């Protein structure tokens, strides 16, 4: 298995193999190597969250992969290097449901942990809609999709998605 991305668990420098010093605070830990000066903060990884709405219903997909296999989620994912959040969300929609998005509007940012991996994330959430004439075709990342009315929305896989959807459905944000 690859070395844990959670710096609190790192023991040895990935560059020179020496012991690491654990520094910083509980809220913002980092590791540093005395020998080669390598250091790494436990910064969150950026993700996107698409709260896709159509006529008062919200599109969710059921995860066919870990983490949180079998749980409901939004369309979205991890940003690629050099990619803007809006570009990432549009790419993820093409990859996950084979659809283009319209009316992409920011909701906010939400801190979370990526399932049981321990990876800290910050989700950049957007309201949006599917482009006219879109037909959903799922990738292997998801096993099914459903349009939910607000009162039907199930427990969602990740805290950031739960909070973003709740903010939109609860009327704090409008698409």
Pairing of strands 39-41, 142-148: unpaired
pLDDT (tens digit per residue) in 99-116: 999 999 999 999 999 998
Residue range 132-154: average pLDDT? Answer: 97
What is the residue extent of each domain of the chain?
7-41, 45-169
pLDDT band at 2 (very low <50, low <70, confident <90, very high): very low
CB–CB of 173/127 below 8 Å? yes
Q: Is the pLDDT of residue 123 over 50?
A: yes
pLDDT (tens digit per residue) in 63-85: 999 999 999 999 999 999 999 99
Q: Which two tokens stand for residue 125?
A: 């959430």
As a CATH number, domain 45-169 is 3.90.79.10
């Amino acid at each position: 298995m690859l070395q844990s991305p959670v710096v609190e668990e790192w023991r040895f420098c990935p560059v020179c193999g020496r012991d690491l010093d654990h520094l910083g605070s509980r809220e913002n830990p980092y590791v540093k190597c005395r020998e080669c000066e390598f250091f790494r903060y436990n910064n969150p990884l950026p993700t996107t969250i698409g709260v896709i709405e159509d006529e008062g219903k919200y599109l969710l997909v059921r995860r066919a992969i870990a983490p949180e296999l079998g749980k409901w989620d939004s369309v979205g994912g991890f940003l690629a290097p050099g990619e803007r959040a809006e570009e990432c969300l549009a790419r993820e929609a093409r990859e996950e449901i084979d659809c283009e998005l319209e009316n992409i509007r920011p909701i906010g940012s939400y801190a979370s942990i990526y399932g049981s991996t321990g990876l800290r994330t910050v989700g950049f959430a957007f309201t949006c809609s599917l482009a006219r004439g879109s037909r959903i075709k799922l990738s292997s990342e998801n096993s099914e999709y459903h349009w939910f009315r607000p009162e039907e929305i199930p427990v969602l896989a990740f805290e950031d998605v739960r909070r973003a959807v709740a903010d939109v459905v609860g009327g704090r944000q409008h698409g």
